[in-house]
Amino acid sequence: MYKEQDIYLKDNTLTVKKDVYPLSKILTIEAKELRLKDQIIRILCISLAVSVAGWAFLPIIGPVLMLIGALFAILTSKKYELRAEFSGTDESGDHWAPLARGRRPEEFALFKNIAESIDR
- 97/108 same-domain check: yes
- 26/46 same-domain check: no
What integer is the mean pLDDT of 13-31? 92
Give the pLDDT band (50/70/90) at residue 120: low
- 47/70 same-domain check: yes
Per-residue pLDDT tens over the stretch 41-94: 999 999 999 999 888 888 899 999 999 999 999 999 999 999 999 987 777 788
Could you tell me what percent of the chain has a pLDDT over 90? Answer: 71
Predicted pLDDT of residue 78: 95
The parent domain of residue 10 ranges over 1-33+79-119
- 49/105 same-domain check: no
- 25/49 same-domain check: no
Residues 84 and 100: their CA atoms lie apart, in Å, by: 10
Average pLDDT of the chain to the nearest whole number: 92
- 42/22 same-domain check: no
- 90/72 same-domain check: no
- 1/23 same-domain check: yes
- 67/94 same-domain check: no
HEC assignment per residue over 56-86: HHCHHHHHHHHHHHHHHHHHCCCCEEEEEEE
Predicted pLDDT of residue 57: 86
Coil vs helix vs strand at 117: helix
Pick from 3, 1, 21: nearest CA to 11: 21
Count of domains in the chain?
2
Domain of residue 91, CATH code: 2.30.29
Predicted pLDDT of residue 56: 86
